[in-house]
Amino acid sequence: MDWHGEGISVMEMSHRSKAFASIAEKTRDDLRKLMEVPETHEIMFFQGGACQQFSAMCQNLLGEGFPQGANYVTTGTWSEGAVKEAKKFCDAKEVTNNKGTKYSTVAPHTEWDIKPDASYFHFCQNETIQGFEFHDFPWEVIPEGQLVCCDMSSNFASREVDWAKFDLVYVGAQKNIGPAGLTIVILKKALFDRPARKDVVLTSHYQLFSKAANMFQNTPSCWAIYMAGLNIAYMLEQGGLAKMKERAIERSTMLYDYIDSSEGFYVNVVEKQYRSRMNVPFLVKDSDDMAKKFVAEARENGLIELSGHRSVGGCRASLYNAMTVEGVIALVEFMKGFKERNM
């Protein structure tokens, strides 16, 4: 209710006030530190979620004089969404699509059908709904000169990023970073000189946002920026990215190990090398009714938000940075008991 003696809360502040500018600057600086973002890249705060970046990417990177095509790797719901949106703006090529396997794997990269005359190459590093994560991306497939764009919404801040490899990274904050309503865009600064499409919408315009810097192009989601700042500072205090990664591996390994040892009572269909450290979807006795029973009983035991996404059914445990190792231990214990009672 009274931020640093201002007499008002952060929710009431003008986004152009000195007080708020200092909050936004600290959030950005701490994020740069946490994610080791080099000075070659700019950090910007947008609204609209990763979904808005699906069009922003096209509108900003496909200006006049650049190839009007792009490559998209489709490994789940979010990369599906990205290529669908891109088709409104350009010749968006799906280089591979493994929906037939329920996105449990991806075809070998040697079989990908890549458009040579494209402006950029897009992939989603972690598919929230399918629990599919690229731990080692086959970088060699990307044709020289194509920009690399990546949706890191759901695994950002859980692993290091080799920034030299990325031109555009976008992140809906509501997983590891802060409350919903904030989108982080990290762009190679050299791209600010690249002319955007004429129909780039004001609220997606990278160049304008960068120029406005802490003053912002339009009113940002102030509270979400403030909360993200507190959470980023907390992650730094906890030991930073190395610690976040270590815990992510610990949590997810524990859960996958138990699932794999459950004699088929619980099943995660994703090929091991692509299993997400953040999102663990699983079937319960291969039955939707059993999954519903699982979710209901888990809830009675204080274990919530375990439904799979409505588009795929089953269950899903999201093990974001805020989840404790103890939380996963409690989940596994509950899963053991539920199996005993329902074998």
Q: What is the binding site for its own copies (CB under 8 A)?
A: 6-8, 11-12, 14-17, 47-52, 54-55, 81, 85, 88-89, 172, 174, 179-182, 198-204, 217-224, 227, 302, 304-305, 310, 322
Rounded CA separation 121/173 (Å): 22
Residues taking part in catalysis: 78, 151, 175
In the complex with its own copies, the residue whose CB is nearer, 47 or 105, is 47
In the complex with its own copies, the residue whose CB is nearer, 158 or 217, is 217
Question: Considering the complex, what minimum distance in angstroms separates the CB of residue 265 from its own copies?
Answer: 26
In the complex with its own copies, the residue whose CB is nearer, 6 or 91, is 6
Rounded CA separation 53/181 (Å): 13
Question: Considering the complex, what minimum distance in angstroms separates the CB of residue 238 from its own copies?
Answer: 18
Dmax (CA) of the chain: 64
Burial class (CB in 10 A: 0-12, 13-18, 19+), 61: buried
Question: Considering the complex, what minimum distance in angstroms separates the CB of residue 184 from its own copies?
Answer: 14
In the complex with its own copies, the residue whose CB is nearer, 175 or 275, is 175
**Three-class DSSP labels, the chain:** CCHHHCCCCCCCCCCCCHHHHHHHHHHHHHHHHHHCCCCCEEEEEECCHHHHHHHHHHHHHCCCCCCCEEEEEECCHHHHHHHHHHCCCCEEEEEEECHHHCCCCCCCHHHCCCCCCCCEEEEECEECCCCEECCCCCHHHCCCCCEEEEECCCCCCCCCCCHHHCCEEEEECCCCCCCCCCEEEEEEHHHHHCCCCCCCCHHHCHHHHHHHHHHCCCCCCHHHHHHHHHHHHHHHHCCHHHHHHHHHHHHHHHHHHHHHCCCCCEECCCCHHHECCCEEEEEECCCHHHHHHHHHHHHHCCCCCCECCCCCCCEEEECCCCCCHHHHHHHHHHHHHHHHHHC
Helix 222-237 and helix 240-260: axis angle, to 10°?
90
In the complex with its own copies, the residue whose CB is nearer, 196 or 255, is 196
Question: Considering the complex, what minimum distance in angstroms separates the CB of residue 320 from its own copies?
Answer: 10
In the complex with its own copies, the residue whose CB is nearer, 208 or 269, is 208
In the complex with its own copies, the residue whose CB is nearer, 2 or 140, is 2
Question: Considering the complex, what minimum distance in angstroms separates the CB of residue 319 from its own copies?
Answer: 14
Question: Considering the complex, what minimum distance in angstroms separates the CB of residue 221 from its own copies?
Answer: 3
Question: Considering the complex, what minimum distance in angstroms separates the CB of residue 120 from its own copies?
Answer: 18
